[in-house]
Amino acid sequence: MPILRKTRDRYTGAEKALLVPVIPVGPRSISMQIFHFLFCFSLLTSSFDLALVVNVGGTVRASQVALLVVCFGGMIVMQQKLRFISPIGFPALVVWGIVQTLFLPFSSFLIKGVTYNIWLWYNIVALACVVQLYYRSGYTYSLVRFYVGSFGAIAVFGLYQFVAPLTGLPAFLVTQFWLPHLARINGFSYEPSYFATYMLLGWVTLLHLLIARVEGFSSSTWKVIFAIETIALVLSSSRTAWLFMSLEAALRIIPVVSSALLLQLKRLSVGKWRVNRWQLLVFPLGILMFMVIPRIDMILRDYNLLFLLSGTGLQGTTAHSVDDRAGAFSDTLQVFRENPFIGRSLGGVSPSIAALHGFHPQTMEESKEYEGLSVFAEVLASSGLIGIIPFLIFLYQTTVFPRKLGKLFRKDAFGQMLLALCRAMTYGWLILQLNQNILRPYVWLHLTIICVVAANLEFAKRSMQMQPMLWNVKPACDMTLSPES
């Protein structure tokens, strides 16, 4: 499916003159700089649930308000250039949005159904407008750098939340404590699991960029930012984050260690055994890890750290967290089983779950007590067995296709950026199976960044001017992704 769909030019020279916008948006215009600043602000504050928000029957975030202005910029660009660049997966996404709208009447709490539908269409339109704004704008490289760095800023605030109670400083926005002075980091999010879901996107992205040694991400500053993000994720004490961080570490380390072992065995077979300083460090650490892991329960007991397992049901601890999530997941699937073909719409899932328990919410706050779990189960219950098909197509086109495109440009910084963003989105979808609400702003903004980079790379792929680019060389934006003349 082609990404770039240019509208047919049906206008004469005189008609085009009448279509000149009041606010010109060009790569060097003040307007573009303002829109770029506002979009960066939206990215930075996308995880804000407890700050810069207004409750008007539903939560309106400063990030969403800024993004609305950015949408205006994208519309101006479309009117200026008389074209529409279709983001990857966009037709399927629009069809899914229509499905959600058609199922609105089946929501038992119509106000919430309409509200969620508005936010869904807002995200769809915003994704398209941002792609129009940044397509061949010359800002994509700096945009991705800012986006990746913004996670570090939120992580720094998270570390302050952990240190502040221990030192007697004010603990701003902390929502949960393990012990009286031992905070669980939640950043600006409702709770640690939301913070971890957000931070994991940035952590996986930056890890890939560091390993690939992409130009602009290889300095020691980025390594420090990655260390800060790692510490913040660990101290958030989100067990789901620990699980997926461990999975990513294993997927990165095991192939390297296996290759090193095979190489050494091959050398040993021909009498050329050689050990370098890294192997002297890695192999003892591996042995130590295999010794420690079987005794982890004993270590937790001896050092009174069993509270870290609270809510999991492990080692005799309470299982409230696991039980609550299992119950919410079961309820979400039950809503689907009762209506397998007619979805309830995104805003109708929680009222339907409430009805299973004999309750009919009358306010948004009451309905939040019955939110489902697992965004895929939520989408299934809201869309029905047929209606979920366009969503699955969108999911495929925003995960598999960009990876193929990124691998085609794997020697270019933009190609590695796309691979990093897609890898992070894969983990984002996985961790969202243990959380609720697909309408989280940072999820859609991450998808938007993927679409922006993919659209620019697709242009480079199609352009006859595209030339090979070398590793660790800043992408030749002036030639391949340059602004249109």
For the cut 50, the answer to whether the pLDDT of residue 10 exceeds it is no
pLDDT at position 215: 87
The C-alpha atoms of residue 293 and residue 97 are separated, in whole angstroms, by 47
Is the pLDDT assigned to residue 162 strictly greater than 90?
Answer: yes
Asked whether residue 294 is assigned to any structural domain, the reply reads no
194 found inside a domain:
yes
Give 304's DSSP letter: T
Distance separating alpha carbons of residues 370 and 108, to the nearest angstrom: 13
- Compute the distance between CA of residue 151 and CA of residue 137 in angstroms, rounded to an integer: 24
Say if residues 92 and 124 touch (Cβ distance below 8 Å).
Answer: no
**409: containing domain:** 4-247+317-480
Max mean pLDDT range (145-149, 284-288, 481-485): 145-149
Q: In which residue are the tokens 């975030």 written?
A: 61
Q: If pLDDT is split at 50, 70 and 90, which confidence band does 398 have? A: very high
What pLDDT shows up at residue 98?
96
- Determine contact, residues 104/114, Cβ cutoff 8 Å: yes
Does 452 have pLDDT greater than 90?
Answer: yes
Helix 192-212 vs helix 220-235: crossing angle, to nearest 10: 150
Phi/psi of residue 103, each to 5°? -90, 0
Question: With bands split at pLDDT 50, 70 and 90, how would you rate the model's confidence at 282?
Answer: low
Domain assignment present for residue 403? The answer is yes
Residue 199 has a pLDDT of 96
pTM of the model: 0.85
**pLDDT-based confidence at 279, cuts 50/70/90?**
low
> Per the domain annotation, does 239 fall within a domain?
yes
Phi, psi angle pair for 389, to nearest 5°: -60, -50
Q: Please give the Cα distance from 414 to 483 (Å, whole number).
A: 16
Number of domains in the chain: 1
Query: CA angle, 62 as apex, 56 and 63 as ends, to 5°?
Result: 125
Give the pLDDT confidence of 86-139 residue by residue, as tens digits. Answer: 999 999 999 999 999 999 999 888 898 999 999 999 999 999 999 999 998 889
Do the domain assignments include residue 125?
Answer: yes
Alpha carbons 48 and 25: distance in angstroms, whole number: 29
> Is 272 domain-assigned?
no
**In a domain? residue 263:** no
Do 87 and 455 contact (CB within 8 A), yes or no?
yes
Distance CA 33, CA 285 (A): 49
Dist CA 367 CA 36 (whole Å) = 36
Residue, of 176 and 323, whose pLDDT is higher: 176
Q: Which two tokens stand for residue 376?
A: 């895929």
Three-state SS for 221? helix
Output the pLDDT for position 34.
Answer: 94
pLDDT digits (tens, 9 = 90+) for 419-441: 999 999 999 999 998 876 899 99
Distance CA 198, CA 179 (A): 24
Q: Residues near 322 by Cβ (< 8 Å), separated by ≥ 6?
A: 311, 312, 313
Residues 121 and 131: their CA atoms lie apart, in Å, by 16
Residue 285 lies in a domain: no
Residues 445, 447: Cα–Cα separation, whole Å: 5
